[in-house]
Structure 1
């Protein structure tokens, strides 16, 4: 039967253990000759089901089904499609500003006489509070409780907002702090793989899909769930019932063969995959894994690989549903009826992979024999810079000379008690010497690895064997462990390994994102003074997914990603300036050398320990009351009412200015005239550079603002925690201490030159002066501008600074979209051109011409750059507004303004 919402007659019926469920049958399209389903990548099949199911003749139309069905591996249709995700996942750093925006939209709608309850999530959303815990206390049994107490002290205002939102908004669930990391909670509990939803025609089954406000939302791709990170701005639009508009992507197939060998881990595999895919170039593409190796790849390993899709540049890193998916569902305590439904639905829809499944057709392919993967690390500044463990010492020396202009003298130890180090330190009854390469942070952190029992159990076994041989963590290493869910603590306790990790200093400090996002907490005063006094290139070793410059800790320059097992090993050595495969880690009671090979657990040891320590009941018990929280959470005062009661004295939560004067009239966009360059940047500028998430410096504009508001530096918290206050965030924009603005080559941090006087000042102060004089601003940058986290404030901040356009050699996917979502024009240099080839200094006055005529996706725009001596150069750039819908967003000043104007009308 066909009708307006089922024009292809694809609505079918499944008889399931849950009763009859409707579904939109993809095989019907094949019978009608519209598609050869077996040739489509699994991820494209899921997109096809989405448009087929959501046809309404307005947001999703019949031609959208034809567009996806005609996906061609060599030339995917360059047409946008409306993707309607089934749900939205948020964490608190990005979720709080989203809630603030929604609350501000309610206030704006109320002021114009509208019903504020129109602003309400249409799509179900989960907000997991995981980004606010910091490692203030560590190395003791009471560290966790003290850190939680400090977390609530710092974040009471933010948490009150989220408690209000949980009550005020329909379809919004909040997972309280201290529960786990959103992606691991999603993997272990929230994700259903197949979703059912009741409607007027009964229940309907469809693939679980989502977008998230964190770039590592892709982790759930390992479970066969299609989803990825988007800007918080776009996620809010999805919450309000708007599609996520996207160009149909190319899909790169990654064939896995063989199996990991003894001595290698899933972390080594993902660092290898990341390096290969970065070299391949997969930005804005889907990556889908296939091949016989999937049969031997546990789901936890798949999730580790999927987690790092942002690091290898892909939109997703997708693994189709197969027997391993069902095995994981049973192991994590999912209901048997859900497991049965997933199997039945996936097989009926051609979404279930077996060894006999024909390989889909891909836009491009590459392959890896997992037997050839070797132990690895990545660093010191980018996750794609993999280093073989055997070459780690040499790689550090090369980096020391090239990146930091330092050297270690022959025979000089990086950190020791032998008296040969560069600076002597006394701490807690120990005396030692520090030099370049000293490991001052060793953190088992991030859902990338803590979601994987094999490497967590492996770390516990290694810690145990080292302790039994008398080898302990060095006293200058700040150690911590922050699992992505409480289940990890349960199985480490059940295995008997937690005491050994604690004896090596790896006490649990929290269940959330800590060191991997810069919440590593302070170093000891003695270590900090030593590093700064001698400009020591200290090291951090962590099991996270990102190590961008300045991210982990402002005083730690060299940061290396690796497995939890090697995190423990490097805590034992205390230095990265060691050949850890050949040099001893220490000596035992008999004076005999202890090597890494002596204490490295075998795969069989790890497997047997997992089998006796992990069971479905642990997951079921831990997640039974996942939304309840502890006494501190439930005792928080909750504001009442449909409108949030903004408190002008709050330094955490303020109504954003984006909607205060909004009306139904759309102001006409004009050409950008007589603009100045606020910052001129190089390649690989991350969203951390643009809008840092870490500590707030007292001497900077944001710190001075807080001090003026009566906040003591001890209570500053982090930028990430203050994203609900635009006054703080705009002052921290471009505030990363490692930012290199080419206008001030002799300085790092938030400095620029105010033109035409050439006066050196803070970027925020310069922007205020420019805005006071009516001077529009632009940013000039190199390749990979906006890489890293899906951070909406990296677009909001520049917009509030008065930046009207960014001209870059290339953009990371999410950030480009965020710029459009905030009404900032992303422009791209033509191939073969860049600021250097065009002779741009950043001191010119710029006119961007062609905007007033009405922009089209991908069109060329003229730029005139006039030097102070009157000479002018003209060049063309590409408008990186990629779809007609984005043009509409840009015209309206942003995506949320577009949605709000529709409601006003």
Structure 2
């Protein structure tokens, strides 16, 4: 203890970091430091005491000042837990399985490949709303999910038994973020002889939702998460800390969704991309935990790394109502007694002020969450014939522009909020009392964030009115928000395609990127659950519901939104009747029936279309950074390119490159599944990279979708075909883009797919944090033009790109000059390397994280490395039925 005077022991014998003493030992006043930095420094001090972090690195964390942001300094620290969802979690586990095989083949100790921290995976991204109405919808969709994902779930059950520190929440229980809040969150952890503040990362960008409970957490790509899972320390460039002071309270009739969408637009305009936010002020006290979580959930949409609310009495009340054990609550209170109380004038880079009183009913769309509109302006989203506000939806001509074809109450942002859900149910009840119905062309669905939502709605007799309008529980999972909205009726699809209609989806989600919700739906509008119900009844976006009627009652009289909206007192009374107690998980029979292999190694099957041993840990996969010489632009893109543009998540179209590949493997058209479900097959995902139908590439001669011009031949070909030709010819590929490149999900396949295409550099005016770090971790160089971009550069004919200053990699942000040669001559583009820390430089020097991990695990291997065989399966006789029930999260 003498070397670490700030390490104390509590009454239970566990060590903890005395944060005040830690900062005092470094000449700092902890009361003048943002809580986010205190939490990171606490974690760093624990790692230092364990010998995993140097004293100098700890001093950097403790010595953070606002002036450190952007200097290239970095903070290194361990995380306490990792949470996964299946769409990104299964690829991570696939990589671990492949790493085990690589270590085994090289004669190393494969048993070392194990999670070093607790990891929980929630299976929530796989369910599709095939049946959307009726009492049998949930059972049908759950059964269908098990059939389509049988091999994926066999792999998940194998992994639960094969890896230490891994547990799994089976399908049919809810969305990762709400389950995280209700049951997985620790707030304060006791583990390995330590008591420490909960610090969590997740492979879903909306892991930030846990900030509503005062817990620091954020989303990472699966590649970065692998590093933490294997016991590595995470690294952040010395961050910008921004305080957001909230004042006032939300007016009556204004929801937390309205506040979240308004803040998303406002904070995006304030330029908080990559910043760590802390919410304080009197307005916080006026927000319940669910309201705070709704705002924190949207941090990826406003670009922040994290969004931290206070750890106050509201948090303890929430945990107690959700059945937290008394002993755990005592641990939290004991830890809080040793916490630092902030003083006056805490040091932040910026302070922002936001007045909740000024929030008005809002929606966002048609293709980004920051495109907030006041409710009255929604009709302006629809352009073209048939868009006046008074346009009727029923006519002999069928569908019209602006008609709503999908209305979904879905996703973690809103179905985690009892206030929002009760309000929606009361709108449905009031509509039924007036004899109102949802038009036939609207496909309705309800996918609550957890079973608790259905339980309290049932207790309050509020499920029935939702079901009567078509909002029966059809899933406990992400569903429509990740594009698993299910099929539209054939006659609806024919009208949209045949007449080129701009139709709409309304959803209570957090993402509405182009072609994400449904490939035929161009306008996707985010809104509160109650407004989803109202617009489902209305049937069109082309009506101003602040003044125009939602519809008519049974007698033909107009019904306004104000006629349906419940009184706030009634909502509060119903909220007070919600029971307390721990959440329970249910294990579906379809899950326990999934027999599969056992043993430490996954038996890769040559004929599998879900799991193929990936090449990432094979010798020679990673290549060190070299100067670009004669490189070709694969894509030239504009602003706002999202991870959905780069690596779609939704259904695989039969006419797509991936669809044709799967068909050649014998997969029937109706079983192609989704890109999210094929992430264990790198051949499928390679073909799905840049497969978004709304992709706009300036090299494609005006053709939207996955097309580009092959530079040598001049032909317009699929992106994957051009990339394959460049790889065959030994030519490096480059992507050129505008602002906000990679906004959206923490999707490692957006980077993995880019790397597999042969792309060696991405040049963009600005990058979203997660995607930038993902690119570095697969060995793709991110470059940012110092001024301007592609203006004045001729994009016709052949284009070649070369670089100077890229090697050697000697410092973060080093200058790199690109020479772009086209038919019009030669232009230069001065850039900076968007590797911001020494850790990121080291990753690029190594060729990416996979190569560094491979070397670390093979450092003491006994034999020579071998290439990945076509089938690296188990020896005969090793397959058996797995029984990993000890690792599956069960009821209670």
TM-score (norm 1): 0.93
**What are the within-5 Å matches in structure 2 for residues 254-653 of structure 1?**
254-350=244-340, 358=344, 360-393=346-379, 395-397=380-382, 400=383, 406-408=384-386, 413=391, 415-417=393-395, 419=396, 424=397, 433-612=398-577, 614-617=578-581, 620=582, 622-623=583-584, 626=585, 629-653=587-611
The runs of 5 or more residues in structure 1 that have no matched partner are 401-405, 425-432
Specify the alignment match of 2:169 in structure 1.
175
Residue in structure 2 matching 1:190, options 184, 187, 191 = 184
Instruction: Identify if the C-alpha distance between structure 1 residues 842 and 131 changes in structure 2 by more than 3 Å, giving closer, same or farther.
Output: farther
Cα 1:412/1:213, change in 2 over 3 Å: same
Correspondence for 1:41 among 20, 34, 37: 34
Superposed CA deviations along residues 22-63 of structure 1, whole A, max 9, x for unmatched, are 211011134446222222111111111111111058641222
| Residue in structure 2 matching 1:104, options 98, 119, 128 | 98
Distance in 1 between the 2:387 and 2:837 partners? 56
Q: Is the 8 A contact 2:809 2:845 kept in 1?
A: no
Give the drift of 1:410: 5.1
| 1:814 to 1:841, Cα distance in 2 relative to 1, 3 A | farther
Q: Which of these residues, 665, 668, 692, is aligned with residue 709 of structure 1?
A: 665
Determine whether 1:11 maps to 2:4. no
8 A Cα contact 1:676 1:777, kept in partner: yes
In structure 1, the residue corresponding to 2:16 is in which secondary structure? Answer: strand
Looking at structure 2, the residues matched to 246 and 32 of structure 1 have their Cα atoms a distance apart, in angstroms, of: 23
- Asked whether the 8 Å contact 2:389–2:543 carries over to 1, the reply is no
Determine if the alignment matches structure 1 residue 247 to structure 2 residue 247. no
Equivalent position to 2:727, from 735, 751, 771? 771
1:656 maps to 614
CA distance in 1, matches of 2:797, 2:503: 34
Distance, in Å, in 1 between the alignment partners of 2:814 and 2:252 is: 53
Q: 1:545 to 1:84 in 2, by over 3 A?
A: same
Distance 2:827 2:465 in 1: 66
Instruction: Tell me, yes or no, if structure 1 residue 890 matches structure 2 residue 844.
Output: yes
Over aligned residue pairs, what C-alpha RMSD do you find? 1.7
The one of 48, 51, 54 equivalent to 2:44 is 51
Aligned residue among 837, 853, 863 for 2:818: 863
Match of 2:782 among 826, 831, 852: 826
2:803 corresponds to 1:848? yes
Displacement of 1:595 in angstroms is 1.1
String of CA shifts for 1:104-150, please: whole Å, max 9, x gaps: 00111111111211111111111110000001111111111111111
Q: Which moved more, 1:53-62 or 1:715-724?
A: 53-62
Return the alpha-carbon distance in structure 2 between the equivalents of residues 842 and 849 of structure 1.
23
How far is 1:389 from its partner? 1.1
- Look up the match of 2:749: 793
d(CA) in 2 for partners of 1:706, 1:476: 32
Q: 1:675 to 1:358 in 2, by over 3 A?
A: same
Q: CA deviation digits over 1:835-877, x for unaligned, max 9?
A: 11455558411112233433421101121212247x3222321
3-state SS of 1:657 partner: coil
Please state how far the C-alpha of 1:893 moved relative to its aligned partner.
2.0
Would you say the 8 A contact 2:61–2:76 is kept in 1?
A: no
Structure 1 residues 359 and 638, CA gap change in structure 2 (3 angstroms) = farther
Change (3 A) 1:249 1:210: same
Residues 389 and 544 in structure 2, CA contact (< 8 A), matched pair in contact too: no
Deviations 1:748-777 (A, max 9, x none): 111111112211111111111121111111
Does residue 696 of the first structure (1) align with residue 652 of the second (2)? yes
TM superposition shift of 1:391:
2.4
> Which residue among 210, 214, 220 is the counterpart of 1:224?
214
Q: Which of residues 686, 707, 715 is equivalent to 2:642?
A: 686
- Partners of 2:620 and 2:576 in 1: how far apart? 59
Distance of 1:513 and 1:59 partners within structure 2:
38
Give the Å deviation of 1:689. Answer: 0.3
| Residues 677 and 842 in structure 1, CA contact (< 8 A), matched pair in contact too | no
Sort the Cα spacing of 1:276 and 1:797 in 2 relative to 1 into closer, same or farther, 3 A: same
The 3-state SS of whatever aligns with 2:839 is helix
Using the TM superposition, give the Cα deviation of residue 784 of structure 1 relative to its aligned residue in structure 2, in angstroms: 0.6
What corresponds to 1:403 in structure 2? none
Secondary structure of the residue aligned to 2:477 is: coil
Does residue 90 (structure 1) correspond to residue 84 (structure 2)? The answer is: yes
Deviations 1:518-555 (CA, angstroms, capped at 9, x unpaired) = 11111110111111111111011100001111111110
Name the counterpart of 1:723: 679
Is the 8 Å Cα contact of residues 410 and 446 (structure 2) preserved in structure 1?
A: yes
1:471–1:585: 8 Å Cα contact kept in structure 2? no
User: What is the distance in 1 between the residues matched to 2:392 and 2:502?
Assistant: 10
Deviations 1:469-519 (A, max 9, x none): 111211110000001111011001001010100001001111111111111
1:429: which partner in 2? Answer: none
Partners of 1:293 and 1:669 lie apart in 2 by 49
Aligned to 2:869: none
CA contact (8 A) 2:209 2:293 kept: yes
Alignment of 1:758 with 2:714, yes or no, is yes
In 2: Cα distance, 1:261 partner to 1:562 partner: 17
**In the aligned structure 2, how far is the partner of 1:57 from the partner of 1:840?**
55
The 1:718–1:123 alpha-carbon spacing in structure 2 relative to 1, beyond 3 Å, is same
- Native 8 Å contact 1:375 1:388 kept in 2: yes
* Whole-angstrom CA distance in 2 between matches of 1:841 and 1:89: 46
* 8 A contact 2:809–2:841 mirrored in 1: no
Contact 2:700 2:709 survives alignment (8 Å): yes
Instruction: Give the alignment partner of residue 64 of structure 1, picking from 44, 57, 69.
Output: 57
Distance in 1 between residues matched to 2:613 and 2:643, nearest whole Å: 23
Q: Distance in 2 between matches of 1:522 and 1:668?
A: 45
| Alignment partners' CA distance in 2, 1:57 and 1:217 | 27
Normalised to the residue count of structure 2, the TM-score between the two structures is: 0.94
State the alpha-carbon separation in 1 of the partners of residues 68 and 654 from structure 2: 53
**Structure 2: distance between partners of 1:72 and 1:852:** 32
The one of 749, 755, 759 equivalent to 2:705 is 749
Tell me which of the two structures has the higher relative contact order, counting C-alpha pairs closer than 8 angstroms and 6 or more residues apart: 2
Does the Cα contact within 8 Å between 2:552 and 2:558 map onto a contact in 1?
yes
**How do 1:87-236 and structure 2 match up within 5 A?**
87-198=81-192, 203-236=193-226
CA distance in 2, matches of 1:309, 1:472: 36
Q: Choose 840-849 or 581-590, whichever is displaced more.
A: 840-849
Are 1:105 and 1:900, in contact at CA under 8 Å, matched by a contact in 2?
yes
How many angstroms apart in 2 are the aligned matches of 1:615 and 1:837?
64
TM-superposed deviation, 1:679: 0.8
Q: In the superposition, relative to structure 1, how do residues 707 and 795 fare at CA in structure 2: closer, same or farther (>3 Å)? A: same
- How much has 1:667 moved relative to structure 2? 6.0
> How far does the alpha carbon of each residue in 1:706-745 deviate from its partner, in whole angstroms, 9 at most, with x for none?
1100111100000010000001000011100000010013
Q: For the residues of structure 2 that align with 1:631 and 1:286, how far apart are their CA atoms? A: 43
**Whole-Å Cα distance in 1 between the matches of residues 815 and 795 of structure 2?**
19
Moved more, 836-845 or 260-269: 836-845
CA contact (8 A) 2:657 2:687 kept: yes
CA distance in 2, matches of 1:24, 1:606: 43
Could you say what secondary structure the match of 1:333 adopts? coil
